Structure 1
Amino acid sequence: MSQKKIVSIEDRIPKLKQARKKKANRRLVFYLSIFFLLISIIAYLQSPLSEVKTITIKGNTFLSDNEIEELSGLTTNTNIWSLNKKAIREEIAANPIVDSVEVSRQLPRTVKIEIKELSRVGYVTQESSYYPVLGNGTVLHDAGQKLSNGDAPLLLDFKEEEYLHRMTAELEKLPTSILKLISEIYWVPTDDNKNKLMLYMNDGFMVDGTIRDFAEKMSVYPSIVSQLEEGSKGIIHIGVGAYFEAFTDFESQENSGEDSEDTTD
């Protein structure tokens, strides 16, 4: 029979002590690592290394970078970890030019602000200058220019702000492809219809329309034009129903009306 090796308690005690010592050392190293990590984090948060170094702004056309920075309240002394992104968004979005805002951190020391401005839907004229008008009816009086860019129609004779706002809200809904076809929009209210409009198009047609549901009704314009004979010119009516009236027919009606007046006299 094989004999089992007998280990005395004296031989085992040093090994147990050594194992306990190693375990205690590992625990000490772990706690010291945590301690120094916390100290490093606190030191970092209190140092200039945690302050915003760069503010990147994208999407702005009408507002300058400086204006957006001022609205945000951010400075190079702002701690990047103490950003209140919701408050920054609300402050910038309070500007009537701004449609939406996104704020994000880009480590180590950059804050990125992406804004979407309301689109320019037209121009108004005043003292030989053209002023952009946004989709909410805001006129940018600080952005006057001597010429319009041709990227949006002129809004003429809108003497009441309420109707200008209604008009711009409709233009905001229009596809850019149709908006760029419009050269001038005149507000021509009557006693029966204060929403009446007359449009001059870049392709030579005129449009008789109304502010009410303008975007929806104007959406058929390209389809109507595509069905007309080449060289046709006239007025496209989009008020009640949609139909085309050639300039020759229109002139005939005017002449007929004048003849009737002469007969009456």
Structure 2
Amino acid sequence: MSKKKVVSIEDRIPKLKQARKKKANRRLIVYLSIFFLLLSVIVYLQSPLSHVHTIQVTGNLALSDKEIVKKSGLTTDANIWMVNQTEIKNELTKNPMIASVLVNKKLPWTVEITVEEFKRVGYIKKNGFFYPILGNSKVLTTLKSDTGSGDAPLLIDFSDKTILNKMTKELKQLPQNIRNLISEIHWKPKDSNESKIVLYMSDGYIVDGTIRNFAEKMKVYPSIVAQLEPGSKGIIHIGVGVYFESFEDRTNNGKSKKTETQN
């Protein structure tokens, strides 16, 4: 029979002490690491390293970067971890020109504000001043100017608010390149058609139409003009039917000739 080696308690005690010491050292290292990590975080949060260094604004056209940053309440003294994105959105969307806001934090110290503005779809003139109208039918009475900027048509005689709302909604749906061709829009209501409008275009033509489905009908305007002879002037009708009525070509009974167009 083999004899089992017997280890005395005296031999085991040093090894147990050494194992306990290693375990205690490892625990101490873990505690010290956590302590210094927390200390570093506290120092970082209290130092300028955690402050917002850059505020980027994108998507704005009518409003300046400075206006948006000021309205947001965000400053470079703010701690980036304390930036409340919801509060910034709520503050900025109080501005009638802003449709939506997106706020993103880009570590280590950048905040990006992306705004979508309501488009200026027209102007109205009151007491000698021009006021922009947004796609949500809001008239910006705080942004008056002595002259129209030419980036949107002038709306004339739109005394009825409901009619004005309908017109601005149609203009909002109209492509920018076509909207830029419109100089003036006159509301000319009749007993048979309360929504009748007359447009004066920058290329010299007059458009006779109606507010109902105006955006859809006006989309064919460039193709209509392309079918006309160069230099011809007259009225383009986009109501029930689409046709051109020349100012120059008249019949003996004094009525204008009508030229049918394809759309």
The two structures share one fold, judged by TM-score above 0.5: yes
2:251 and 2:44 mapped to 1: Cα distance? Answer: 84
In structure 2, the partner of 1:98 is: 98
Whole-Å Cα distance in 1 between the matches of residues 211 and 50 of structure 2? 54
Per-residue deviation, 1:23: 4.2
Q: Which moved more, 1:40-49 or 1:94-103?
A: 40-49
Q: Which moved more, 1:121-130 or 1:63-72?
A: 63-72
Identity of aligned residues (%): 59
- Aligned residue for 2:194, secondary structure, equals coil
The amino acid of 1:246's aligned partner reads S
- Aligned equivalent of 2:261: none
Structure number with the higher strand fraction is 2
- SS of 1:236's equivalent in the other structure is strand
SS of 2:142's equivalent? helix
Q: How does 1:186-197 map to 2 (within 5 A)?
A: 186-197=186-197
> In structure 2, do the counterparts of structure 1 residues 253 and 115 end up closer, same or farther at CA, with 3 Å as the change threshold?
farther
- 1:36 Cα deviation (Å)? 1.7
Paired residue secondary structure (2:163): helix
CA gap of 1:13–1:204, structure 2 versus 1, over 3 A, is same
CA RMSD of aligned residues (A): 3.1
Residue in structure 2 matched with residue 68 of structure 1 by the alignment: 68
Range with bigger deviation, 157-166 or 23-32: 23-32
Q: Which residue of 2 aligns with 1:263?
A: none
Greater shift in the superposed pair: 205-214 or 39-48: 39-48
Q: Does 1:27 align with 2:27?
A: yes
1:83 and 2:63 correspond: no
Find runs of 4+ consecutive structure 1 residues off by over 6 angstroms.
6-13
Counterpart position of 1:227: 227
How many Å apart are 1:26 and its aligned residue? 2.7
Are 1:109 and 2:109 an aligned pair?
yes
Q: If each structure's helix is expressed as a fraction of its own residues, which one has the higher value? A: 1
**In structure 2, C-alpha distance between the alignment counterparts of 1:13 and 1:237, rounded to whole Å:** 107
C-alpha distance 168-253 of structure 1, shift in aligned 2 (>3 A): farther
CA distance in 1 between counterparts of 2:63 and 2:230 reads 44
Unaligned runs of 5+ in 1: 1-5, 257-265
1:72, distance to aligned residue in structure 2 (A): 2.5
**Cα deviation per residue 1:230-265 (whole Å; 9 max; x = unaligned)?**
33222111111322222246x659946xxxxxxxxx
Instruction: Give the whole-Å Cα distance in 2 for the aligned partners of 1:103 and 1:81.
Output: 13
